[in-house]
Amino acid sequence: MAVPISYSFHNLWKRRLTTILTVSGMALVVFVFAAVLMMAAGLQKTLVETGSSDNVVIVRKGSTSEVMSGIERNSASIVEMLPQVAIDAEGLRLVAKESVVLIALQKRGAEKTASHSNVVVRGVQLQSLPLRPQVKIVAGRMFRMGSSEVIVGNSIAKGFQGVGLQGTLNWGMRAWTVVGIFDAGNTGFSSEIWGDVDQVMQAFRRAVYSSLIFKLQNPDDFSAAKTSLESDPRLTLEAKRETRYYLDQSEMMAKFLRILGMSLTIIFSIGAIIGAMITMYSAVANRTAEIGTLRALGFRRRNILIAFLVESLLLGFIGGCVGLFFASFMQFITISTVNFQTFSELAFKFTLTRGIFLESMFFALIMGLTGGVLPALRASRLKIVDALRAV
Amino acid sequence: MMLLKILFRNAFHNKLRSGLTILGIAVAILAFWLLRTVINSWYSGVEAASTTRLVTRNAISIIFTLPISYQEKIRQVEGVKIVSYGNWFGGIYIDEKNFFANFCVEPRTYFELYPEFVLDPLQKKAFLADRKGFVAGRKLAAKYGWKPGDTVTLKGTIYPGNWDFVLRGIYHGRDKTVDETQFFFHWAYLDETMKMTTPRRSGQVGFYMIGVARPDIAAETAIAIDKVFKNSLAETLTETEKAFNLGFIAMSEAIVTAIQMVSFVVIIIIMAVVANTMAMTTRERTGDYAIMKTLGFGAKEITILIFGESLVITLTGSLIGMLLTFPAAKVFGQSLATFFPVFLVSEKTLYYDLLAAFLIAFLAAIIPTRHAIRIRIADGLRRIG
């Protein structure tokens, strides 16, 4: 017969201070663990949602981001004529030639202390909008083609100075007026500034486009388009599905965050496991007589072992729940930082996924179990006579 | 003396528990140190920056270049002693994982500006004479086993193609804070190649490094330089090297802040563990305290006993942790060399360790002490276990 679970539960309740301290140590570890993983997941989710799998991004061979890439006008015309490019209702080809540069903008805050960061300026064509259905104007209006007007993503409008509606930006010896603010949901476009590609290229004295984006007529045509582009001797270009392209951009940073999170929590968990071990050892020591009584009543060694393991698992479980409870509030937080790989600002939300939830809970239970194994073994090995004699 | 003896006896009364607590503290101190050192190495570029060097770059952002013709104009500005220039090359060695900083620079002036990069005169001569030559830091060369005369190929990301270089010299740092993982080659090599392949990209410079005569005129010189190019196609932004490097770190501010916060979390975790130990100890010893009170000892003595015991445990743990720091620093420094070229244990971190230990000891003892002081003698004597 097993020792009832309520026995373990009552023991934890009886010594609340100790339980609270042990649980809070574990909860903190779980919190840090979950928060860092949520950060990596949020970054990846944002960049994955930025791309759509029907779209293809074309950049110069070997360049890892649009900023580094350059596509000559004549190469661009060759790509435009690919048979795999989709055609819209008006018979126009769904292909956009874009120019991407970085500009340094000052973040909001005190004039002296606010830091600068690199923001993406994307020169777009009319066709860019149907290619990115996520982008919606939420304030003001769309810029007019052929003018020095720009629209700004909402994350940038929130975080930087002078980019609110009617604000002016100065670059390329011109003043650019912000005429609209757009919301691109949880995607990288929310951290960009958009203007007319020809105006942007002229202002930055760029002779070449950065990238080409087109929609596939048929989503399965990607490999055909890729082969015909990459085997064309006139071109030194590389084609990637948009989803793949943005996923690649998140890889390094997400990996960095994951390694950071893992190594931190492994070190921290040693502390929490020791905490659980101390608690459980003293639980065993204080209850030696009780254990003797239980054994005398007919409970087996195995039952005692399980009872103490359950108790320490309960500790881990409560720690995990508390840690996850607080971590789930992190979902309301958006952070904005520079993605090392593209060297540009990107805003993203902490995202709690099912996987992270399960991993954190599993981790918490493992911590409880590891802390409880040795004390539980000691408890189960006590001799009845010795145990009963203890005061 | 008597007090100290009692404190030690008390602290190690339950050997298993004290041992575990001490182990926990040692690990926490080690983790705290590791995180602080990571933050310090993040800022190592700022520490190493000289006060007599200025950086001029395109005002729009770092990805835009400046014409080479600016060199002579900058040289004419009052206070400027020496002008060097270079580009970030961003080449990849075999695989993206093998990251290291690679620049093309004007070698003669660059090494004059950076006396902390020490290069053997013979190797320097060989490097200057070979336009395809490059110089690597000691750690970088050791990591990939490069020896002078070896050919190394980088795959260009910003400048397309495969670029061959010949190792002509290995520099080492004048002191420990110098980054020994960088890769420098001739700006002329890049420019000549660009002239052939994409002429519009030739004659372009990513940044100018400027040496000023005295540190106190650095700020005025920077303003004077920017004034020269005001209202031109390529306006400049000139900062001290320190401000320039800080600007880079500021971009990843969110991560630095996160690590900083986490480094305090580890202290809180260990505080909970020590508080737990102290709570158990005092609970077990309630009877003792009651007897002491009967004998006429007051709250003061009991407080000293509990705080002292907490201090003995935490200090032992932190001393062990601090001793472990040095071998750990060696191991970590080697394995993290790609991310943090300069990884040093600073004295300040050790003081922070001690401060943290005292903080933990005191905060952990507060609740148990209150408990022990408040308990009535009769209750204390009656209580078992």
Question: pLDDT tens-digit profile of A83-99?
Answer: 999 998 888 899 999 99
* Minimal-distance CA residue of chain A relative to B265: A28
Q: What is the pLDDT of residue B204?
A: 94
Q: Are B133 and B92 in contact (CB under 8 A)?
A: no
Say yes or no for a CB contact (<8 Å) between B272 and A25: yes
A-B contacts at Cβ under 8 angstroms: 147
Q: Does A2 touch chain B (CB under 8 A)?
A: no
* Minimal-distance CA residue of chain B relative to A255: B97
* Minimal-distance CA residue of chain A relative to B21: A274
Mean of the per-residue pLDDT values of chain A: 89
The angle, 0 to 180 degrees and rounded to 10, between the axes of the packed helices B15-42 and B299-335 is 50
Give the rounded percent of residues in chain A with a pLDDT score beyond 70.
Answer: 98
Cα–Cα distance for residue pair A368/B310, rounded to 1 Å: 25
Here the ipTM equals: 0.78
Say yes or no for a CB contact (<8 Å) between B251 and A115: yes
Any idea which of A74-83, A119-128, A197-206, A281-290 has the lowest mean pLDDT?
A281-290
The pLDDT-based confidence of A112 (bands split at 50, 70, 90) is low
Q: What is the pLDDT of residue B67?
A: 95
Q: Residue A21 pLDDT more than 90? A: no
The pLDDT-based confidence of A211 (bands split at 50, 70, 90) is very high
Q: Are B54 and B241 in contact (CB under 8 A)?
A: yes
What pTM, to 2 d.p., does this model score? Answer: 0.84
Q: Residue A237 pLDDT more than 80? A: yes
Question: pLDDT tens-digit profile of A339-383?
Answer: 877 888 888 899 999 999 999 999 999 999 999 999 999 899 888
Give me the residues of chain B with pLDDT under 50, please: 385
Going along A145-209, which residue ranges are E strands? Answer: 149-153, 168-171, 174-183, 192-196
Q: What is the pLDDT of residue A391?
A: 60
Say yes or no for a CB contact (<8 Å) between B273 and A64: no
Interface test with A, best of B30, B263, B273, B384 (most A CBs within 10 A): B273
User: In A238-275, which positions are buried (b, 16+ CB within 10 angstroms) versus exposed (e)?
Assistant: bbbbbbbbbbbbbebbbebbbebbeebbebbbbbbbbb
Interface test with A, best of B276, B331, B370 (most A CBs within 10 A): B276
**Per-residue CA distances from B2 to B6, B8, B298 (Å):** 6, 10, 17
Interface test with A, best of B13, B29, B61 (most A CBs within 10 A): B61
**Per-residue CA distances from A234 to A213, A214, A230, B363 (Å):** 19, 19, 9, 72
Amino acid identity, position B334 = Q
Question: Which residues of B are less than 8 Å from A271 in CB distance?
Answer: 24, 27-28, 31, 266, 269-270, 273
How buried is residue A236: exposed, middle or buried, by Cβ count under 10 Å (0-12/13-18/19+)? middle
Residue A182 in tokens? 């757009």
Residue B190 in tokens? 């890049």
Query: How far is CA B275 from its chain centroid?
Result: 32
Q: What is the pLDDT of residue A190?
A: 93
Amino acid identity, position A324 = L
Name the residue with tokens 């200025």: B54
Nearest to A279 among B258, B276, B367 (CB): B276
Q: What is the pLDDT of residue B385?
A: 47
Q: What is the pLDDT of residue B208?
A: 96
Relative to beta strand A174-183, strand A149-153 is parallel
Q: What is the pLDDT of residue A173?
A: 81
Q: Are A121 and A206 in contact (CB under 8 A)?
A: no
Say yes or no for a CB contact (<8 Å) between A104 and B21: no
Give the rounded percent of residues in chain B with a pLDDT score beyond 90.
Answer: 42
